[in-house]
Amino acid sequence: MPVAVQRKGALIVRLLGRTVGRLDYSSHHNEMRFSYDPEYLADSMSMPLSRSLPLRSEPFDTETTTIFFENLLPPDQVRRRLGPILHVSRHNIFGFLEALGGDCAGAISLWPEDTPQEEESAARLEMLDEDAAGMVLKSLRKRPLYVNGVAGYRISGSGAQNKLIARIVDGRIALPLFGMPSTHIIKPPAEDYADSVFNEFFSMSLAARLGLKTAKCGLMRIKGDTYYWTERYDRESVGGEVRRLHQEDFCQALGVSGEMKYESEGGPSFASCMKAMQEMKFSLADRLAFIDRMIFNFLIGNADAHGKNSSILYRQNGGRALAPVYDVMSTLVYPSLSGDGAMSIGGAKRFADVRRENFALMAHEAGMRPALALGRLDAIASKILRHAEILAKELAAEWPSDVYAKIISVISSQLKQIAD
């Protein structure tokens, strides 16, 4: 019988451009281990990559390592499509990180240890005219994340929806190459969900009007088609230079595989997220903001607010904060999607079963006063419908869509549930 060839490899893991450790891989039993660099550990100012990867000298086992780093990648259904393009099997997490890890969520980048120095210093932007931008965006259906679309474009992003991770400069799309930080995420319309780009823009805009902190977003037309864009909240501009900010989603922080992101599968719950925030000494304002987004997601019918759709921002001074709201849309306007909430609300798994008292129980389970959650529920519920109707009228002129009325109908229905 032929003997299987074992492959070994390593990726240098960088945080904020600084080497923090290495990822070692062996195809034997598909083993992958992360270990911190001794010099990094010796610096008292060093921060861990994750709550689930505390600073220590011992390497982390394959399971712990894989869970964190796999969460930097697109989900399995996208990797199935990427595999034939990259010649990487869907279960080869290391292979995908090697191919896509030049610019990841947060401040992490991964480089093969034999990367030539000149390649790492070749970071630049490739500006696209409207024709080229339209071609790139259209190609996402067959080439997710535009992988292998141009030399030096090594960018990873989680989430099942097609997207281009790029920059928008003076209204034009630019591709960041050879490790240049991206600043924007651009989404084409989802094929199976009518007016998805208008849905997400409306939902995000409504959240902002209600006082929730959101990522900046908008709509843009390219070659007659409408696309949704959002600024990356894990990037900042300092003196004209784009810098990465470190972050991780709650699946990473709690050591949960992204393939098990729903609470019903063992993924993060409201209570487990709140407990982690308390242990990490989040401000009361951030913990209240997490309650607000649970309320908002219920009222607009967003049943997909799972553990990967809320994140933690890390500051270099050791501070932590709840990341702005992102990836929000009304899923209940699409009958084919589940009506089960990604996180239960006071024991109610189905949105149709949620009543006012469930929010009180939700707060109690997280060690907070029920009256606090009910007060915030009443405050948001009292104004959401009025703001939604005003927003729909404002958007109708430039960005007309039937989905606005459908979302307003969902909101009206949800309000009746908690009033009964």
Alpha carbons 121 and 399: distance in angstroms, whole number: 41
Burial (Cβ within 10 Å: 0-12, 13-18, ≥19) of residue 335: exposed
Residue 276 is encoded by which pair of tokens? 């982690």
- pLDDT, position 6: 62
Alpha carbons 78 and 90: distance in angstroms, whole number: 9
Alpha carbons 187 and 137: distance in angstroms, whole number: 8
- pLDDT, position 121: 59
Instruction: Give the CA radius of gyration of the chain.
Output: 22
Alpha carbons 230 and 246: distance in angstroms, whole number: 18
Alpha carbons 102 and 108: distance in angstroms, whole number: 8
- Which residue(s) pair with 241 in the sheet? 238
Alpha carbons 303 and 151: distance in angstroms, whole number: 38
The pLDDT tens digits of the residues spanning 46-100 come to 999 999 999 999 999 999 999 999 999 999 999 999 999 999 998 899 999 999 9
Alpha carbons 385 and 266: distance in angstroms, whole number: 34
What rounded mean pLDDT belongs to the chain? 93
Flag residues of the chain having pLDDT under 70: 1-7, 116-121, 420
The pLDDT tens digits of the residues spanning 318-354 come to 789 999 999 999 999 999 999 999 999 999 999 999 9
pTM equals: 0.94
Q: Which domains does the chain have, with CATH numbers?
A: 8-117 (no CATH), 119-231 (3.30.200), 246-419 (1.10.1070.20)
Alpha carbons 349 and 303: distance in angstroms, whole number: 10
Q: Establish whether 304 is a catalytic residue.
A: yes
φ, ψ of residue 9 in degrees (nearest 5): -160, 170
φ, ψ of residue 292 in degrees (nearest 5): -60, -40
Alpha carbons 354 and 339: distance in angstroms, whole number: 11
Catalytic residue among 24, 195, 304, 327: 304
